[in-house]
């Protein structure tokens, strides 16, 4: 695998931690579209894995978690590895879908356990594990999180990333260019997107979802301004029909990305108003500025609580 790193200038947008209180209003637009879906036979007892052919790459869904696989000359490419409990079955499904018998490269979009369950198997088999350098740090230490209960133990050395990045770049795999980029403080503090421009497919990790509110891991560097900035970046990469793969849930489109960006921008302005009113997180949850979207994305209480707390943590007086 070869890769080149490109670095983008730092954002001077209103979503920097010191400047975000000067934001203006943004109008909401767009509409959600239905996703693709296709089912394959269960590759292992008691573990159902759905597959969707995206034309040159395959989307696999296990326990509500999305994984992308692509055939390579010397082993498959995977984006995320699903939960540890389903890792063996998932890898068998990847081999069946790609015709490979090993994973050459596994990209972690972030460090949460639903994305890193296959790391140790891939690493012990000699595969390359690629991630943001902060993901490598989190996987090397015990971590608490705002998104799950308990203490996550570090992975063994075999399961930790062997190649890391700090920003944007590209790699070549099976003759195709694959772009990737850092989304600072968006869902965790080590999120990557992975873009297949020739196939018009974007893996967006835990930053977006078509059927739930992706929580912010505000105990580990994420904040709501980072989420908005990430959606701004993703909206630059997509066209209306781009197929977007979230970490969880159904496939969405570039139209959805633009709509989600606008929803979050509007909410950001509302949250600033709440901060200026001196409200607490419990007040924001009670006011529920996302009530109109509950039928699409479910109860927003946990998301609102975390998003507002993240803004209180991020605020630095000038």
Domains of the chain: 37-314 (3.60.15.10)
Q: Is 70 exceeded by the pLDDT of residue 12?
A: no
> Global pTM?
0.86
Report pLDDT digits (tens) over 183-197: 999 999 999 999 999
Report pLDDT digits (tens) over 234-266: 999 999 999 999 999 999 999 999 999 999 999
One DSSP character per residue, 238-289 reads --TT-EEEESBSS-EEHHHHHHHHHHHHHHHHHHHHHHHHT--HHHHHHH-T
One DSSP character per residue, 145-209 reads -SSSSSEEPPPPGGGS-SEEESSEEEEEETTEEEEEEEETTSSSSSEEEEEETTTTEEEEETT--
Q: How confident is the model at residue 15 (pLDDT cuts 50, 70, 90)?
A: low
């Amino acid at each position: 695998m070869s890769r080149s790193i490109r670095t983008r200038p730092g954002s001077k947008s209103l979503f920097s931690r010191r400047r975000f209180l000067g934001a203006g209003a943004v109008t909401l637009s767009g509409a959600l579209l239905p996703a693709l879906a296709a089912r394959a036979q269960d590759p292992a007892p008691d573990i159902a894995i759905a597959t969707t052919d995206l034309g040159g790459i395959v989307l696999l869904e296990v326990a509500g978690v999305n994984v992308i696989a692509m055939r390579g000359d010397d082993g498959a490419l995977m984006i995320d590895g699903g939960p540890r409990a389903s890792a063996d079955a998932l890898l068998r499904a990847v081999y069946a879908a790609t015709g490979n018998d090993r994973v050459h490269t596994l990209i972690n979009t972030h460090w949460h356990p639903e994305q890193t369950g296959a790391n140790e198997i891939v690493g012990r088999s000699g595969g390359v594990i690629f991630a943001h350098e902060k993901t490598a740090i989190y996987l090397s230490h015990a971590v608490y999180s705002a998104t799950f209960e308990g203490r996550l133990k570090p992975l063994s050395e075999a399961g930790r990333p062997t190649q890391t990045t700090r920003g944007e770049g590209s790699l070549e795999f099976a003759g195709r260019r694959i772009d990737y980029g850092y989304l600072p403080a968006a869902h965790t503090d080590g999120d990557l997107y992975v873009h297949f421009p020739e196939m018009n497919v974007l893996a967006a990790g835990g930053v977006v979802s078509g059927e739930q509110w992706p929580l912010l891991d505000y105990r580990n560097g994420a904040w709501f301004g980072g989420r908005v900035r990430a959606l701004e970046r993703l909206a630059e990469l997509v066209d209306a029909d781009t197929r977007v793969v979230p970490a969880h849930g159904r496939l969405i489109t570039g139209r959805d990305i633009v709509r989600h960006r606008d929803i979050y921008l509007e909410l950001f302005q509302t949250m600033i108003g709440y901060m200026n009113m001196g409200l607490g997180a419990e007040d924001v949850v009670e006011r529920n500025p996302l009530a109109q979207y509950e039928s699409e994305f479910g109860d927003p209480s946990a998301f609102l609580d975390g998003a507002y707390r993240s803004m209180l943590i991020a605020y630095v007086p000038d």
